[in-house]
């Protein structure tokens, strides 16, 4: 069989890398961080049973830190925010001072009445003792307003069926609405959904730092041990190729990148380097022996390379029996990454091997 021209080999390798890169770059990052939840565990089942009876609130708190959150401008801002948030899709309930209810005796009967006095709701001044009653209220002090009057809260409870993407969109809208025309002070938004989203963002940010850093460290490692720019280039091309193929597989099956899968790059990149060293050392021996074909090199390193790959795969497959779904997903995609880490160096050695034969 006629050998494939070197330029065609390199073109095929670049094509296989180029096809994977756009798919890998479109990978979704998990909007929340439920990666460590075990939906079959006792704690999760208990939570579901209690939630069926009493409900559950994993919502947001919009907090205003100001000199006086009971001032007219702060209460007017709170009124605007509450009215705007209440009509947002995915909002189940909004609780704030401006529409909180109190109890009072009216004509001898106990009735529910607005917490804020009528004059204050109309923009008037507080009468003596009214502010103190709000700040010391047994239900709302420490919940919707601090005892010192310098922090006020709006509690937003999302709909129970709202998914992570819906919660992220809701958080963005709450941020936009609460910070528009806010009074003097500081507006913060917190809550479990916001914290989970922050974790996912941290994972994404780490990927942008740790992956290039790991790649740089591996390049130094390869340069030190191989001492040949051509050999380093082959291994260096194999690393991003294996990583792109792995991310492309994750995206192709519709799985987002979560906090657990964020641990894949070191595994894939390190395995690619190990495979590259096996192959390049074996190919050097092939050339010394008078050969040049990658097929001969593969025969030479087949046993150690196969044992190393199988041992690593066995370790990953063992994770598949874990109780947490994210760990099982990691095992599956790690296995795919290991296979990519073996295939990528073979591809680039085949593509650039003729260049090594020139001297």
**Looking at residues 50-64, what average pLDDT do you find?**
77
The per-residue pLDDT for range 217-276, each reduced to its tens digit, is: 999 989 888 888 888 999 999 999 999 999 999 999 988 887 788 889 999 999 999 999
**Higher-pLDDT residue of 83, 324:** 83
- The pLDDT assigned to 285 comes to 77
Lowest mean pLDDT among 49-53, 196-200, 323-327, 329-333: 49-53
Phi, psi values for residue 156, rounded to 5°: -115, 120
Beta strands, E only, 85-234 = 91-95, 101-106, 109-114, 151-158, 186-191
245 contacts 260 by C-beta, under 8 angstroms: no
Q: Which residues, including other chains, have CB under 8 Å from residue 279's CB and lie 6 or more apart? A: 297, 298, 301, 305, 345, 346, 349
- The pLDDT assigned to 6 comes to 76
Quote the pTM value: 0.71
The per-residue pLDDT for range 269-319, each reduced to its tens digit, is: 999 999 998 888 887 777 777 666 777 777 777 788 888 888 888 888 777
Is the pLDDT assigned to residue 358 strictly greater than 70? no
Q: What's the whole-number average pLDDT of the chain?
A: 85
């Amino acid at each position: 069989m006629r050998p494939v021209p070197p330029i065609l080999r390199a073109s095929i390798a670049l094509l296989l890398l180029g096809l994977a890169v756009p798919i890998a770059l479109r990978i979704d990052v998990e909007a929340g961080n439920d990666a460590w939840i075990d939906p079959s565990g006792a704690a999760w089942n208990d939570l579901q049973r209690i939630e069926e009876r009493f409900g559950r609130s994993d919502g947001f708190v919009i907090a205003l830190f100001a000199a006086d959150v009971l001032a007219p401008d702060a209460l007017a801002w709170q009124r605007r925010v509450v009215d705007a948030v209440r009509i947002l899709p995915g909002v189940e309930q909004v609780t704030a001072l401006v529409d909180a209810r109190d109890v009072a005796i009216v004509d001898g009967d106990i009735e529910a009445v607005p917490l804020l006095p009528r004059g204050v709701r109309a923009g008037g001044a507080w009468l003596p003792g009214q502010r103190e009653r709000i700040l010391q209220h047994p239900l709302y002090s420490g919940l919707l307003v601090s005892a010192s009057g310098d922090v006020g809260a709006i509690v937003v409870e999302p709909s129970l069926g709202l998914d992570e993407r819906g919660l992220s969109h809701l958080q963005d809208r709450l941020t936009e609405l609460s910070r528009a025309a806010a009074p003097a002070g500081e507006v913060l938004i917190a809550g479990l959904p916001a914290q989970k989203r922050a974790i996912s963002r941290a994972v994404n940010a780490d990927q942008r730092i740790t992956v290039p850093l790991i790649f740089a460290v591996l390049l130094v490692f390869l340069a030190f041990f191989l001492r040949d720019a051509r050999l380093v280039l082959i291994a260096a091309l194999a690393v991003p190729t294996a990583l792109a193929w792995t991310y492309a597989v994750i995206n192709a099956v519709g799985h987002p990148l979560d906090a657990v899968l964020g641990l894949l790059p070191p595994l894939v990149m390190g395995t690619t380097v190990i495979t590259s060293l096996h192959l390049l050392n074996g190919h050097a021996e092939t050339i010394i022996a008078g050969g040049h074909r990658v097929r001969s090199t593969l025969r030479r390193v087949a046993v150690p390379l196969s044992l190393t790959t199988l041992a690593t795969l066995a370790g990953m497959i063992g994770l598949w029996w874990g109780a947490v779904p994210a760990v099982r997903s990691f095992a599956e995609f790690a296995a795919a990454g290991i296979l990519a880490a073996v295939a990528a160096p073979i591809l680039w050695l085949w593509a650039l091997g003729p260049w090594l034969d020139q001297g």
